Amino acid sequence: MKQFPDHLADRFRRFKYRHFAPNQDHYEKLAAEGQTPDVMVVSCCDSRVDPETLFSAMPGELFVVRNVANLVPPFETQGKYHGVSAALEFAALNIRVKHIVVLGHSGCGGVRAALDHNTTRQTAAQFIINWMSMLDEARDKVLAAHGDHTAAHLHAALEREGIKTSVANLRTFPCIQILEGRGSIALHGAYFDIARGVLEVLDRETGEFVPL
């Protein structure tokens, strides 16, 4: 019985031959010693924005959590299932990463949903609506500042504002506050423009995104 997709099986065999075999020592070392990445990346589920590809990373180098629109929720302990918060806590306290990068991108479908609730409701996307409500404040701020601009302009502005929101939310976690206060961890925002291949990084002083 055929269950697993052929093209994935073929691609895995290609990986095994082209990548794993020449780097087997690296994988054996990772298996024996565990992971010690010094960077955590919070990125979108979007298939076009792959942190390992963008930062030319080998396995073991980036601790990545991906979700719709690369969001970090604010610290709270009421809910039961906190995937991002659990990953964040593990990265900060167990792995002791030195950097956390919130990586946003152009053309983000999650951000589009945050801007256009009517369209999202028509598709009965109940989880998306709830998840993207984290950007309600950012959306209102963008609409107040850029309300007379085109939809594309608003979209791009909210993509960047959302990154700032997530960086700010990182600072609501007590463990991050302590580690950042000690200078043990640094928080970063970055924005990848897919069509142009440009990475913009958030300037901590000015709050602006500056191309690398």
What is the CA 118 to chain-centroid distance, rounded? Answer: 25
Q: Find the shortest distance in angstroms from Cβ 40 to Zn ion.
A: 18
Q: Find the shortest distance in angstroms from Cβ 33 to Zn ion.
A: 33
Report the residue number, 93 or 194, with the smaller CB distance to Zn ion: 194
Q: Find the shortest distance in angstroms from Cβ 35 to Zn ion.
A: 25
**103, 193 Cβ separation under 8 angstroms:** no
Give helix 136-146 / helix 151-170 axis angle, nearest 10°: 140
Q: Find the shortest distance in angstroms from Cβ 138 to Zn ion.
A: 14
Nearest to 53 by CA among 62, 42, 45: 62
Report the residue number, 106 or 179, with the smaller CB distance to Zn ion: 106
Q: Find the shortest distance in angstroms from Cβ 104 to Zn ion.
A: 7
Report the residue number, 44 or 65, with the smaller CB distance to Zn ion: 44
Report the residue number, 40 or 179, with the smaller CB distance to Zn ion: 40
Report the residue number, 92 or 165, with the smaller CB distance to Zn ion: 165
Q: Enumerate residues 6+ apart whose C-beta is below 8 A from 58.
A: 23, 26
Report the residue number, 100 or 108, with the smaller CB distance to Zn ion: 108
Q: Find the shortest distance in angstroms from Cβ 12 to Zn ion.
A: 26
Which parts of this chain interact with Zn ion (CB under 5 A)?
44, 46, 108
The DSSP code sequence of 100-122 is EEEEEETT-HHHHHHH-HHHHHH
